[in-house]
Amino acid sequence: MKLKKPFKVLFFILLSTQVKAQLAIDAELRPRFEYRHGFKTLFPNNEDPAVFVSQRTRLNTNYEIDRLSFYLSLQDVRIWGDVPQLNSSDKNGVGIHQAWGKIKLDPTFFLKVGRQEIIYDDHRIFGDVGWAQQARSHDAARVEYNNAGLKIDLGFAFNQSDENLTGNTLTTPGTYKSIQYLWAHNEWNKFSASFLFLNNGLQFIDDINSNNNQTRYSQTLGTHLNYKANNLKLTSNLYYQFGKDIANNDLNAYLISLEGNYKIAAKSTLGLGVELISGNDNGSPSNQENKAFTPLYGTNHKFNGLMDYFYVGNHTNSVGLLDIYANAKVALNEKSNVNIALHNFSAAAEIGPNSEKQLGTELDIVYAYKLQKEIGISGGYSHLFASQGMETIKGNFDGNINNWGWIMLTINPILFSNKE
């Protein structure tokens, strides 16, 4: 105990001797209660709803000096009760969510290397998936250019399962083999535009002949557009996918969206939107052609309803989606607001000869309250009114109620900062 004071003195001496250095340490504690009765898929007969509490805990350190920025984010993700009491070890343990260094090469060029979140525009193709307790990060390197409103990023990643002596076959599930991308963004007076080209390589493994193992590449090309005038904001996404999918089918797919939001008060808006995501007739590729668009590494929970029926671990290479929606964000006071969204879903392609395209309607309600700067609480309720088309693609005709509710507490204290 007597050693604590000398260490504290030494710590602050080191900080004071580097007057240009800035250090900030913050933390996050985020437990979330969920009730699932038809979340992601239609609820079957003779089953109980799922009820649990998940929790994310993070410790974040950001250090900046001269031409270097260094960021480290340690993370623990757990379900309350997934480890027995008096257990000698954790189920998941503490992991590294982010660990990167950013080097200033000159006033306009930067090099960022390490495990990092990759986020662009509205998170449609690249996002952090912040709703998921584990979130998403990439082991990557990128060169950044930033000058007078023009931003250009070149990104690279190459994944391997181990330090092998021979061979380059990736056996890690749920990730890509390699990616290379170019993102450019510019802003004008009322208009901004982004351009993205992504070369996405997935590992194919031939279980019979390992000599046929190869990386199969698809390409995503598109733009994200924003226009602001007075109280109106228009946003559009236009993307096209081509190349090869993991099954070596030719890709020919697209995503088109348009959303308009109108500010009715200082912190309140009304919005209308439509998104069309191409898909395959009968729910699967045919004639070695895949017409189903995949949003890849986006924050898909943010789009197409909060109950995650589409593109959150499901609905890939399927019948696509037409999502027509309305939303409202209303500020109740300085500390609280409510978001309401209504989605109408239908298939973009034919489901089958005996099925309608209509998939259903979803209502999402989210309330958020800021107790103080470091403490917030939010909760939501969602209800899916499934149509016959949804029952067909899910293979469930039980006709049960499908709803989902959650409450989340977020605590974000700043533990230390010498930033002015």
Give the bridge partners for 12, in sequence order: none
Model pLDDT, residue 1: 45
Report if residue 75 sits inside a domain: yes
Report if residue 399 sits inside a domain: yes
Report if residue 379 sits inside a domain: yes
Report if residue 91 sits inside a domain: no
Model pLDDT, residue 19: 55
Going by C-alpha positions, the residue among 329, 326, 355 that lies closest to residue 265 is 329
Long-range contacts of 269-273 (CB under 8 A, 24+ apart): 269/328, 269/329, 270/326, 270/327, 270/328, 271/326, 271/327, 271/328, 271/329, 272/325, 272/326, 273/323, 273/324, 273/325, 273/326, 273/327
Report if residue 3 sits inside a domain: no
Residue 239 CB contacts under 8 Å (≥ 6 apart), including other chains: 124, 125, 196, 220, 221, 222, 223, 254, 255, 293
Q: What is the mean pLDDT for each group of 10 consecutive residues in the chain (420 residues)?
A: 51 55 97 98 98 98 96 97 89 94 97 98 98 98 95 98 94 96 96 98 93 95 97 98 97 98 94 98 96 98 98 96 98 96 98 94 98 97 98 96 98 92
CATH assignment at residue 392: 2.40.160.100
Report if residue 275 sits inside a domain: yes
Report if residue 157 sits inside a domain: yes
Report if residue 366 sits inside a domain: yes
Model pLDDT, residue 8: 57
Model pLDDT, residue 204: 96
Q: How many domains does the chain contain in total?
A: 1
Question: What range does the domain containing 27 cover?
Answer: 20-85+98-164+178-417
Model pLDDT, residue 13: 47
